[in-house]
Amino acid sequence: MAQQHTEQQLDFVDDVTDAEAREAAHRERGTARPITVVGNPVLHRECKDVTAFDDSLVALVDDMFASQRAAEGVGLAANQIGVDLKVFVYDCADDDDVRHVGALCNPVPVELPADRRRLDDSNEGCLSVPGAYMELARPDYAIVRGQDLQGNPIVVQGTGYFARCLQHETDHLYGRLYIDRLSKRDRKDVLRQMAEATPKFETVPND
Protein backbone atom coordinates (compact mmCIF):
# COMPACT_ATOMS: atom_id res chain seq x y z
CA MET A 1 0.00 0.00 0.00
CA ALA A 2 1.36 3.41 -0.92
CA GLN A 3 1.80 6.02 1.78
CA GLN A 4 -0.01 9.36 1.53
CA HIS A 5 1.53 12.58 2.82
CA THR A 6 1.17 16.25 1.98
CA GLU A 7 4.15 17.72 0.15
CA GLN A 8 4.54 20.30 2.92
CA GLN A 9 5.43 17.46 5.33
CA LEU A 10 8.25 16.15 3.14
CA ASP A 11 11.89 17.20 3.12
CA PHE A 12 13.19 16.28 -0.32
CA VAL A 13 16.77 15.10 -0.74
CA ASP A 14 19.18 17.23 -2.79
CA ASP A 15 20.21 14.85 -5.57
CA VAL A 16 21.28 17.60 -7.96
CA THR A 17 24.32 19.24 -6.32
CA ASP A 18 27.61 17.72 -7.51
CA ALA A 19 25.67 15.13 -9.50
CA GLU A 20 28.46 14.53 -12.03
CA ALA A 21 31.19 14.14 -9.40
CA ARG A 22 29.10 11.83 -7.21
CA GLU A 23 28.19 9.55 -10.11
CA ALA A 24 31.81 9.42 -11.29
CA ALA A 25 33.09 8.51 -7.81
CA HIS A 26 30.69 5.58 -7.51
CA ARG A 27 31.29 4.40 -11.07
CA GLU A 28 35.08 4.56 -10.87
CA ARG A 29 35.10 2.43 -7.71
CA GLY A 30 32.67 -0.10 -9.16
CA THR A 31 32.81 -2.97 -11.62
CA ALA A 32 30.22 -3.35 -14.35
CA ARG A 33 28.17 -6.54 -14.12
CA PRO A 34 25.99 -8.20 -16.78
CA ILE A 35 22.28 -7.34 -16.83
CA THR A 36 19.58 -9.90 -16.04
CA VAL A 37 16.76 -10.04 -18.58
CA VAL A 38 13.06 -10.85 -18.49
CA GLY A 39 12.53 -14.47 -17.51
CA ASN A 40 15.24 -14.49 -14.83
CA PRO A 41 13.44 -15.41 -11.56
CA VAL A 42 15.09 -12.60 -9.56
CA LEU A 43 13.22 -10.05 -11.68
CA HIS A 44 9.81 -11.56 -11.02
CA ARG A 45 9.59 -11.56 -7.22
CA GLU A 46 9.71 -8.91 -4.52
CA CYS A 47 13.25 -8.23 -3.32
CA LYS A 48 14.40 -8.41 0.28
CA ASP A 49 14.60 -5.26 2.39
CA VAL A 50 18.02 -3.71 2.90
CA THR A 51 18.85 -4.16 6.60
CA ALA A 52 22.66 -3.83 6.63
CA PHE A 53 23.85 -0.34 5.74
CA ASP A 54 27.52 -1.21 5.53
CA ASP A 55 30.53 -1.28 3.21
CA SER A 56 29.07 -4.16 1.21
CA LEU A 57 26.02 -2.03 0.37
CA VAL A 58 28.25 0.82 -0.79
CA ALA A 59 30.27 -1.62 -2.92
CA LEU A 60 27.05 -2.93 -4.47
CA VAL A 61 25.92 0.60 -5.30
CA ASP A 62 29.33 1.34 -6.83
CA ASP A 63 28.91 -1.71 -9.08
CA MET A 64 25.37 -0.63 -9.94
CA PHE A 65 26.52 2.79 -11.09
CA ALA A 66 29.28 1.16 -13.17
CA SER A 67 26.78 -1.31 -14.65
CA GLN A 68 24.26 1.42 -15.38
CA ARG A 69 26.84 3.48 -17.26
CA ALA A 70 28.15 0.48 -19.21
CA ALA A 71 24.60 -0.30 -20.35
CA GLU A 72 23.84 3.38 -21.05
CA GLY A 73 20.88 3.38 -18.68
CA VAL A 74 19.38 6.11 -16.50
CA GLY A 75 18.29 3.85 -13.64
CA LEU A 76 19.14 0.39 -12.36
CA ALA A 77 17.64 -1.85 -9.68
CA ALA A 78 19.75 -4.36 -7.76
CA ASN A 79 17.86 -7.35 -9.13
CA GLN A 80 18.85 -6.25 -12.63
CA ILE A 81 22.36 -7.40 -11.76
CA GLY A 82 21.06 -10.46 -9.93
CA VAL A 83 21.07 -9.09 -6.36
CA ASP A 84 17.93 -9.70 -4.30
CA LEU A 85 17.86 -6.40 -2.39
CA LYS A 86 15.59 -3.35 -2.44
CA VAL A 87 17.99 -0.72 -3.73
CA PHE A 88 18.16 1.21 -6.98
CA VAL A 89 20.42 3.89 -8.42
CA TYR A 90 19.64 6.61 -10.92
CA ASP A 91 21.42 9.13 -13.11
CA CYS A 92 18.52 10.77 -14.87
CA ALA A 93 17.56 14.18 -16.16
CA ASP A 94 14.07 15.58 -15.68
CA ASP A 95 12.12 17.38 -18.38
CA ASP A 96 13.93 20.64 -17.51
CA ASP A 97 17.23 18.87 -18.27
CA VAL A 98 18.29 18.96 -14.60
CA ARG A 99 20.48 15.95 -13.76
CA HIS A 100 19.55 13.87 -10.71
CA VAL A 101 21.95 11.27 -9.25
CA GLY A 102 21.34 9.09 -6.23
CA ALA A 103 20.67 5.74 -4.61
CA LEU A 104 17.53 4.74 -2.73
CA CYS A 105 17.02 1.75 -0.44
CA ASN A 106 13.67 0.24 0.52
CA PRO A 107 11.61 2.60 -1.66
CA VAL A 108 7.91 3.16 -1.00
CA PRO A 109 5.87 5.33 -3.38
CA VAL A 110 3.93 8.18 -1.83
CA GLU A 111 0.30 8.33 -2.90
CA LEU A 112 -0.36 11.63 -4.66
CA PRO A 113 -3.57 13.65 -4.60
CA ALA A 114 -5.71 13.36 -7.71
CA ASP A 115 -4.76 16.83 -8.96
CA ARG A 116 -1.09 15.77 -9.19
CA ARG A 117 -1.74 12.61 -11.20
CA ARG A 118 -1.50 13.93 -14.76
CA LEU A 119 -0.64 10.98 -16.97
CA ASP A 120 2.19 10.98 -19.50
CA ASP A 121 2.03 8.23 -22.13
CA SER A 122 5.60 8.50 -23.41
CA ASN A 123 7.66 5.54 -24.57
CA GLU A 124 9.31 3.40 -21.90
CA GLY A 125 12.17 0.93 -22.17
CA CYS A 126 14.14 -1.28 -19.80
CA LEU A 127 17.67 -2.66 -19.69
CA SER A 128 16.14 -6.01 -18.75
CA VAL A 129 14.03 -5.95 -21.90
CA PRO A 130 16.79 -4.76 -24.23
CA GLY A 131 16.03 -3.21 -27.59
CA ALA A 132 12.30 -2.78 -26.98
CA TYR A 133 10.07 0.23 -26.27
CA MET A 134 6.38 0.84 -25.80
CA GLU A 135 4.11 3.68 -24.72
CA LEU A 136 3.01 3.41 -21.09
CA ALA A 137 0.91 5.92 -19.17
CA ARG A 138 2.43 6.95 -15.83
CA PRO A 139 2.00 10.04 -13.63
CA ASP A 140 4.41 12.81 -14.66
CA TYR A 141 5.19 13.55 -10.98
CA ALA A 142 6.40 11.04 -8.39
CA ILE A 143 7.51 11.01 -4.77
CA VAL A 144 9.30 8.02 -3.25
CA ARG A 145 10.31 7.55 0.38
CA GLY A 146 13.22 5.33 1.43
CA GLN A 147 16.64 5.31 3.03
CA ASP A 148 20.10 6.43 1.98
CA LEU A 149 23.24 4.29 2.18
CA GLN A 150 23.62 5.06 5.88
CA GLY A 151 20.04 4.08 6.66
CA ASN A 152 18.78 7.65 7.09
CA PRO A 153 15.25 8.37 5.86
CA ILE A 154 15.09 10.34 2.61
CA VAL A 155 12.42 11.42 0.15
CA VAL A 156 13.03 11.78 -3.59
CA GLN A 157 10.76 13.66 -5.98
CA GLY A 158 10.79 13.71 -9.75
CA THR A 159 8.95 15.24 -12.66
CA GLY A 160 8.60 14.17 -16.27
CA TYR A 161 11.11 11.59 -17.44
CA PHE A 162 12.71 11.41 -13.99
CA ALA A 163 9.31 10.67 -12.42
CA ARG A 164 8.96 7.77 -14.87
CA CYS A 165 12.41 6.52 -13.85
CA LEU A 166 11.55 6.56 -10.13
CA GLN A 167 8.34 4.62 -10.71
CA HIS A 168 10.01 2.16 -13.08
CA GLU A 169 12.87 1.33 -10.69
CA THR A 170 10.59 1.05 -7.66
CA ASP A 171 8.43 -1.38 -9.62
CA HIS A 172 11.50 -3.55 -10.29
CA LEU A 173 12.13 -4.07 -6.58
CA TYR A 174 8.60 -5.39 -6.11
CA GLY A 175 8.99 -7.90 -8.93
CA ARG A 176 7.22 -5.93 -11.64
CA LEU A 177 8.63 -5.00 -15.04
CA TYR A 178 7.07 -2.26 -17.13
CA ILE A 179 5.83 -4.87 -19.59
CA ASP A 180 3.66 -6.28 -16.81
CA ARG A 181 1.64 -3.04 -16.99
CA LEU A 182 1.00 -3.41 -20.72
CA SER A 183 -1.90 -5.03 -22.54
CA LYS A 184 -1.30 -8.57 -23.77
CA ARG A 185 -0.97 -7.26 -27.32
CA ASP A 186 1.60 -4.60 -26.43
CA ARG A 187 3.55 -7.01 -24.23
CA LYS A 188 3.73 -9.47 -27.12
CA ASP A 189 5.00 -6.68 -29.38
CA VAL A 190 7.69 -5.69 -26.85
CA LEU A 191 8.91 -9.27 -26.52
CA ARG A 192 9.03 -9.54 -30.30
CA GLN A 193 11.14 -6.37 -30.45
CA MET A 194 13.48 -7.81 -27.84
CA ALA A 195 13.82 -11.12 -29.70
CA GLU A 196 14.76 -9.30 -32.89
CA ALA A 197 17.26 -6.94 -31.24
CA THR A 198 20.89 -7.50 -30.31
CA PRO A 199 21.76 -6.12 -26.83
CA LYS A 200 24.47 -3.46 -26.81
CA PHE A 201 25.70 -4.62 -23.39
CA GLU A 202 26.47 -7.89 -21.63
CA THR A 203 23.44 -9.81 -20.38
CA VAL A 204 22.92 -12.91 -18.26
CA PRO A 205 21.49 -15.73 -20.42
CA ASN A 206 18.41 -17.40 -18.99
CA ASP A 207 18.63 -21.16 -18.55
Cβ neighbours, 10 Å, residue 105: 24
105 annotated binding-site participant? no
126 annotated binding-site participant? yes
Residues near 40 by beta carbon (within 8 Å), at least 6 away in sequence = 82, 128, 204, 206
Q: Where are the alpha helices (DSSP H) in 71-129?
A: none
User: Which of 28, 111, 124, 169 is an active site residue?
Assistant: 169
100 annotated binding-site participant? no
Q: Report the C-alpha dihedral over residues 134, 146, 117, 16, rounded to 10 degrees.
A: -80
Identify whether the C-beta of residue 78 lies closer than 8 Å to the C-beta of residue 64: yes
Q: Is 135 a catalytic residue?
A: no
Cα(63)–Cα(81) distance, integer angstroms? 9
Q: Which residues are catalytic?
A: 169
Q: Which residues carry a binding-site annotation for Fe cation?
A: 126, 168, 172
Q: Which residues carry a binding-site annotation?
A: 126, 168, 172
